């Protein structure tokens, strides 16, 4: 693989030739992200049999693109910018976004990265992006200054409380099932937890917790309800 790297005499380092790089092994983007987050695991490469029987539930309809994931994770490691076209959940018009990727996240279902959206309209500059929603992406040589990092991400550095209550319209057997599923004590009706303000929207939607942002979608079909919405709106955790 002589074309995979080149040696920079001035910096005394090897650098990847991203346009010509050919990997020795084919590793899925999901496995690569898991190892970047949790450490090297050779079993993900050699694919030996598990110690006990294991099956993955569900069909992977939108596997992550290795090349796109590689560009983003390299940018995080090297403090570089990327330019990408992103298909947001809101379905607005597609356009190029200049991003400074900062950290990778996993919510149990989706791999996400948090980035500073340079040139974003409005006050919100730090946002979460789903890897699978990237349409196209290119690396940029621009170094990212410290002022664009997580130290200045207010929502990332703010820990906020979430007050969540069982839907009072559920009958007693349904409430008991909710308590078991969410590890609540007997006769408890509320869950009190703290989390980064940057994660609040993800938790509310993943758990299908009813609040003003999804009440039309959920209707009466919900198990849990957010009780401190006004406070979370004041700190910018939800809009």
Report d(CA 235, CA 239) in Å as an integer: 9
Counting Cα atoms < 13 Å in the Cβ hemisphere of 184 gives 20
Report d(CA 109, CA 194) in Å as an integer: 21
Instruction: Report which DSSP code applies to 185.
Output: P
- Cβ atoms of residues 215 and 229 within 8 Å: no
pLDDT for 49:
66
- Cβ atoms of residues 148 and 98 within 8 Å: no
Angstrom CA distances, 95 to 15, 18, 73, 101, 219, stand at 30, 24, 22, 17, 33
- Residue 33: CB atoms within 10 A of its CB come to 21
pLDDT by residue for the chain (239 residues), tens only, comes to: 889 999 999 989 898 888 888 888 888 899 999 999 989 888 777 766 677 887 777 766 678 999 999 999 999 999 999 999 998 876 666 788 999 999 999 998 899 999 999 988 878 899 999 999 999 999 998 899 999 999 999 999 999 999 999 999 999 999 999 999 999 999 899 999 999 999 999 999 999 999 999 999 999 999 999 999 999 999 999 98
Counting Cα atoms < 13 Å in the Cβ hemisphere of 24 gives 4
- Cβ atoms of residues 30 and 111 within 8 Å: yes
Helices (H) and strands (E) in the chain, counts: 8, 11
- Tokens 């730090």 sit at which residue? 126
pTM: 0.85
Report d(CA 222, CA 91) in Å as an integer: 25
- Residue 23: CB atoms within 10 A of its CB come to 10
Three-state SS at 82? strand
- Residue 193: CB atoms within 10 A of its CB come to 10
Report d(CA 160, CA 196) in Å as an integer: 6
pLDDT for 48:
63
């Amino acid at each position: 693989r002589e074309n995979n790297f080149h040696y920079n005499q001035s910096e005394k380092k090897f650098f990847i030739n991203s346009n010509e790089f050919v990997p020795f092994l084919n590793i899925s983007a999901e496995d690569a992200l898991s190892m970047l987050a949790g450490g090297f695991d050779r079993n993900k490469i050699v694919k030996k049999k598990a110690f006990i029987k294991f099956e993955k539930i569900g069909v992977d309809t939108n596997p992550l693109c290795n090349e796109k994931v590689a560009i983003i994770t390299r940018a995080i490691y090297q403090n570089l910018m990327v330019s990408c076209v992103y298909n947001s959940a809101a379905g607005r018009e597609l356009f190029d976004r200049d991003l400074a990727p900062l950290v990778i996240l996993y919510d149990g279902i989706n791999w996400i990265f948090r980035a500073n959206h340079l040139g974003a309209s409005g006050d919100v500059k730090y946002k979460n992006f789903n890897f699978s929603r990237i349409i196209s992406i290119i690396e940029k040589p621009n170094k990212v200054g410290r002022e664009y990092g997580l130290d200045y991400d207010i929502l990332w550095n703010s820990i906020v409380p979430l007050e969540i209550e069982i839907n009072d319209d559920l009958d007693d057997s349904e409430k008991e099932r909710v308590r078991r599923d969410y590890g609540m004590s007997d006769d408890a009706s509320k869950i009190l937890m703290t989390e980064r303000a940057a994660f609040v929207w993800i938790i509310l939607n993943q758990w299908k917790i009813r609040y003003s942002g999804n009440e039309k979608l959920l209707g009466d079909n919900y198990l849990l309800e957010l009780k401190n919405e006004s406070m979370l709106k004041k700190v910018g955790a939800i809009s």
